Amino acid sequence: MKAHTLSVLVENRAGVLTRVSGLFARRGFNIESLAVGTSELPGMSRMTIVVIGDDAQVEQVMKQLNKLIDVIKVSDITESEIVDRELALIKVNAEPGSSRSEVMQIASIFRAQIVDVGAKTVVLQVAGDPGKIDALEKLLRQFGVKELIRTGKITMLRGAKTVQPTK
């Protein structure tokens, strides 16, 4: 069992997310994360799906995904040279005069931005590979994380290579 990263091109149509996520649920596959948005190709969206399973299971997932009419291309890019990034928003306790300066210090080490400052809290925005976000969250926990939202990672091949529809 290991995490596989799938880059999936889909038709940008109502219902496509249900079809994809339903397939995972129905066939008992575990999604670790799923991120979706439009792409440079007209009418197509890209999904990055992280799925946990052994090689045979993941091969079966990919084949089943490929059978969906609205799925145009599925690539397992786990073993490729990739960049992967995730965005998180973290609302953390940071009262002036108490922990606020320490929180800001940590934020700057992680190159997280402060995107909102409240009376007792700040909201940090951090982008990076998922491991970096995990590390930041862990450090901030001592101050009290009030809310954490992660987008799920998006992944792209390095260099000139791209995930494209076949022909």
The minimum distance between CB 5 and another protein, in angstroms, equals 20
Between 64 and 125, CB nearer to another protein: 64
Residue 69 near another protein by CB under 8 A? yes
Longest dimension (CA), the chain: 61
Instruction: Tell me the closest approach of the beta carbon of residue 54 to another protein, in angstroms.
Output: 13
d(C-alpha 155, C-alpha 20), whole Å: 18
- Could you give the dihedral angle defined by the CA atoms of residues 154, 157, 161 and 163, in that order, rounded to the nearest 10 degrees? -40
Comparing CA positions, the residue from 77, 73, 107 lying closest to residue 89 is: 107
Nearer to another protein, 26 or 158 (CB): 26
Number of amino acids touching another protein (CB under 8 A):
22
What residues numbered 93-132 form the site for another protein, per CB under 8 A? none
Q: Work out how close the CB of 78 gets to another protein at its nearest, in angstroms, rounded to a whole number.
A: 19
Residue 69 or 119 having the CB closest to another protein: 69
Considering only residues 8-67, where is the footprint of another protein by CB under 8 A?
10-11, 14-15, 18-19, 22, 26, 56, 59-60, 63-64, 66-67
Q: Which residues bind another protein (CB under 8 A)?
A: 10-11, 14-15, 18-19, 22, 26, 56, 59-60, 63-64, 66-72, 165-166
